[in-house]
Structure 1
Amino acid sequence: MINVSHLSFSYEIGTPILSEINLAFDQRTTAIIGQNGAGKTTLVKLLKGLLKPYNGEVLIKNIDVKTVTAAELAKTVGLVFQNPNDQIFKQKVLDEVMFGPLMIKMNKEVARQKALQALAMAGLSDKAEMNPHDLSLSEKKLLCIASVVAMDTDIIILDEPTIAQDQAGKEKIRHIINFLKTKRKLVMTIIHDMDFVAENFERTIVLSEGKVLLDGDTRYVFSQKDILREAHVEAPGITQLAQELGIKETVLSIEEFINTKKR
């Protein structure tokens, strides 16, 4: 899906943000984690084509992002912004969700069907005629996710998807991610919610100071306490609890913790 080779980027000469990044993304759900300033958002913008690398290359389905515009990549890569107010601009929820599909030349009736399906998954079907700015922050975030899902891109990147979400909201996002997996989409996220990562993402990449410190199966990554400490990242709460209690297995969920204790 995506191949990143010797990727480096800097906003100012002499101040590297990313240095020699080499990654290959397949269809596993993938979380990119790290403290603020680690380079996560910059990396995602490069994958989306919003920025161009000054060294190395990014290939999206064998297309060099240097050779195409972000608009041209919109049919392949969808990005949900961290702040929904940076993304929403229409006066009606349904129009907001249909905008992306229509911009990539999707048939109007197909766009409407995709939009209604995405709104249903986000639990916003009854809000279709509302002004998006009258929604709560959590609903706005779900609306932005629905807007990108409706575009039916092969790659979907979620920037801090669980911001402002209660457990019900997280369950909706979990359902959307699982739906996208069944459609063989690549779902990626940059996120600080380690509990959500542990339960929903198969692969985790740890960035620190613009470099990849750790990359692998999520269970393996959260077992590497020393490297996580170096990256100033904490494992999920339930993982830490299990470690404190001397459980040797790397536990990623409450259910796993209970089952382990029973054994």
Structure 2
Amino acid sequence: MAELRLENVHFSYPDGTKAVDGLTLKVAAGERVAIVGQNGAGKTTAVKMMNGLLKPSAGDVYVGELNTKDYTTAQISRQVGYVFQNPDDQIFHNDVESEVRFGPKNMGFDEARIDDITEWAMKLCGIYEDREENPYNLPYSTRKFVTIASVLAMDSDVIILDEPTAGQDQVGLTLLADMLKDLERRGKTVLTITHDMEFVTTHFERIVVMANRQLIADESAGTVFYNADVLNESMLKPPAVAQMASLLGLEKGLLTKPQLLSAILKNQHL
């Protein structure tokens, strides 16, 4: 399994727009990390450098011992799979199963492995019954899972999810939760970019906060969402439980409804 390392990484687009400014970050193999911050903070640019879609203007990005500057995007994507925010940027086959099979087939997996991993990915993402459908006949939320399954089927060590909860109902959120548990059992590293703070607090212990193209915090959720300076600089709105706990003057670090209720009851007895 590959460790990710970004060492004093900078990135500017051809028009001179600076998107990442001196980012240093290490993600251990098998870790689960949420990257949060407002639009324009540099999150998507940062993760695209992790899988070779973009090369740093300065600094180095390592996937294991591989410096992404020395390898093609195709070579790096064998280690780091990236699920785009918009599924329509990623889908190009006329049926779901062909879309999911494309990655492992292109990577040279044998037919038996392609069959097994394609079926696993489709079932995990709740799209097995849709395998003969044209993806564009499916709703946006389901197309998101088609692209997730396509990346999972490549069996990369690292999975990057860009706004996976966008457009999802409770069924989709439950599928995502089950998927994260399965990937954890398999030792996969998972990074997600999201604006859904409830999803973050439920499924991620480590939170990386970006603002103004830089990393401004790398802490536990219980620390980040009670740090007023970080929240103000990143313009993040803490999850509802943290907001209520702060409003009531309760102890810091509360993130779940049971924790909040317990603290309220304890406070009443004081």
Give the TM-score normalised by structure 2. Answer: 0.94
What residue in structure 2 maps to residue 62 of structure 1? Answer: 65
What pairs with 1:29-108 in structure 2 (closer than 5 Å)?
29-108=32-111
1:147 and 2:165 are equivalent in the alignment: no
Q: Which amino acid aligns with 1:130?
A: E
> Residue 91 of structure 1 aligns to a residue in which SS?
coil
What residue in structure 2 maps to residue 187 of structure 1? Answer: 190
Of 57-66 and 233-242, the range deviating more from structure 2: 233-242
1:194-214 per-position Cα deviation (integer Å, ceiling 9, x unaligned):
110111112111101111110
1:135-168 per-position Cα deviation (integer Å, ceiling 9, x unaligned):
1111111111111111111000000000110111
> Residue 247 of structure 1 aligns to a residue in which SS?
coil
Post-superposition offset of 1:16: 2.2
What residue in structure 1 maps to residue 27 of structure 2? Answer: 25
1:228 and 2:228 are equivalent in the alignment: no
Post-superposition offset of 1:107: 1.3
How many angstroms apart in 1 are the aligned matches of 2:82 and 2:193? 11
Contact 1:74–1:104, Cα closer than 8 Å, also in 2: no
Structure 1 gaps of 5+ residues are none
Query: How many residues are aligned here?
Result: 263
Post-superposition offset of 1:44: 0.9
What residue in structure 2 maps to residue 4 of structure 1? Answer: 6
Q: Structure 2 residue aligned with 1:202, among 202, 205, 229?
A: 205
How many angstroms apart in 2 are the aligned matches of 1:13 and 1:163? 30
How many angstroms apart in 1 are the aligned matches of 2:174 and 2:264? 25
Q: Structure 2 residue aligned with 1:161, among 161, 164, 184?
A: 164
How many angstroms apart in 2 are the aligned matches of 1:18 and 1:167? 34
How many angstroms apart in 2 are the aligned matches of 1:257 and 1:152? 39
Post-superposition offset of 1:14: 5.3
Q: Which amino acid aligns with 2:259?
A: E
How many angstroms apart in 2 are the aligned matches of 1:20 and 1:195? 29
Post-superposition offset of 1:259: 3.4
Runs of 4+ in 1 over 6 A off after TM superposition: none
> Residue 238 of structure 1 aligns to a residue in which SS?
helix
Contact 2:216–2:230, Cα closer than 8 Å, also in 1: yes
> Residue 143 of structure 1 aligns to a residue in which SS?
helix
What pairs with 1:101-116 in structure 2 (closer than 5 Å)?
101-116=104-119
Q: Structure 1 residue aligned with 2:222, among 213, 219, 224?
A: 219
What residue in structure 2 maps to residue 138 of structure 1? Answer: 141
Percent identity over paired residues? 38
Structure 2 gaps of 5+ residues are none
> Residue 38 of structure 1 aligns to a residue in which SS?
coil
How many angstroms apart in 1 are the aligned matches of 2:31 and 2:260? 24
CA RMSD of superposed structures (Å): 1.3
> Residue 255 of structure 2 aligns to a residue in which SS?
coil
How many angstroms apart in 1 are the aligned matches of 2:186 and 2:17? 40
